[in-house]
Amino acid sequence: MARYKIVLEYDGTRYYGWQAQKGSRTIQGEFFTVFDKLFPGERCEFYGAGRTDSGVHALHQVAHLEIKSEIQPTKLMYSVNDLLPSDIHVLHVEKCDVRFHARYDAIARSYVYLISSRRTAFEKAHCWWIRDSLDLRKMNAVAKSWEGRHDFRSFTDQTPEEGSTLVEVNFIDFHHSGDLTAIHITGSHFLWKMVRRLTGILVEVGRGNIREKEATKLVSEFSGLPARHTAPPSGLYLHQVYYPGDAIQRGREYMPVLLNF
């Protein structure tokens, strides 16, 4: 058996999330279709580092592929890209240890949520247009209070019975360029819908609809408030996946693709 680490990007607009689902078009499902053509009759194991939701994008998703066949990594990359739809693209392939697991070996992940202060005809599937003025000082104060290890049960539909809702948030930063604001969040892992609900609450704080004190308490007291303010998927990007030895990237210079739409 051979195992390969695959780095890819995708526009999630046309897809029902990452995970293969019968009757729905997904990112993982598109890869399985390609692998069936390249390796007919072979059983392929293909896991991603994170299961992005419907409509969510990725700049640097990581996956691993395990197959019986040995193939040169560059040839595998070109062969897969030739068969993938144009809105999914493999950036890099390398052979890895057979014990490497894209999801379980990851030590941190980062997401970026992109907000536009003006209406745009071209990027509406890739950002959230908010016409209201946002108080970024208040938003930043709340974001800083969420850094560290907290129980983010209020920000997910996942129940405690399905696993721990404790998450270590390394940082939440804000970056600006023209009409765009990027919320950059990095943590140990993220719960289902967590980043979109964090964003939604921050926006409501910025609008003045939720008080700072009320928002900071959401990581100490359970509330259904975040579920009512889930940000749309269009502005969310899986930005980076980190593994042992990787330096966590922080700063405006690490997201030029996003802030130069």
User: Mind listing the domains of the chain with CATH numbers?
Assistant: 2-96 (3.30.70.580), 108-260 (3.30.70.660)
pLDDT given for residue 217 in this prediction: 96
DSSP-assigned beta bridge partners for residue 172: 185
pLDDT given for residue 121 in this prediction: 76
Cα–Cα distance for residue pair 42/53, rounded to 1 Å: 28
pLDDT given for residue 177 in this prediction: 87
Catalytic residues: 53
pLDDT given for residue 256 in this prediction: 74
Please return the burial class of 178, using the count of CB atoms within 10 Å of its CB with bins 0-12, 13-18 and 19+. Answer: exposed
pLDDT given for residue 236 in this prediction: 97
Please return the burial class of 68, using the count of CB atoms within 10 Å of its CB with bins 0-12, 13-18 and 19+. Answer: exposed
pLDDT given for residue 69 in this prediction: 86
What's the pTM value of the predicted model, to 2 decimals?
Answer: 0.94
pLDDT given for residue 261 in this prediction: 60
Cα–Cα distance for residue pair 101/19, rounded to 1 Å: 16
CB atoms within 10 A of CB 111: 25
Question: What's the helix, strand, coil split of the chain in %, to 5?
Answer: 30, 30, 40
Q: Please, are residues 17 and 56 in contact by the beta-carbon 8 Å criterion?
A: yes
pLDDT given for residue 142 in this prediction: 98
Q: Please, are residues 240 and 60 in contact by the beta-carbon 8 Å criterion?
A: yes
H/E element holding 190? none
pLDDT given for residue 161 in this prediction: 67
Cα–Cα distance for residue pair 102/84, rounded to 1 Å: 20
Whether the CA torsion 125, 172, 255, 51 is positive or negative: it is negative
Residues 6+ apart with CB under 8 A from 131: 117, 119
Give per-10-residue mean pLDDT for the chain (261 aa).
Answer: 96 95 95 96 93 95 95 97 98 96 97 92 86 95 97 88 89 92 96 96 97 96 94 96 95 78 60
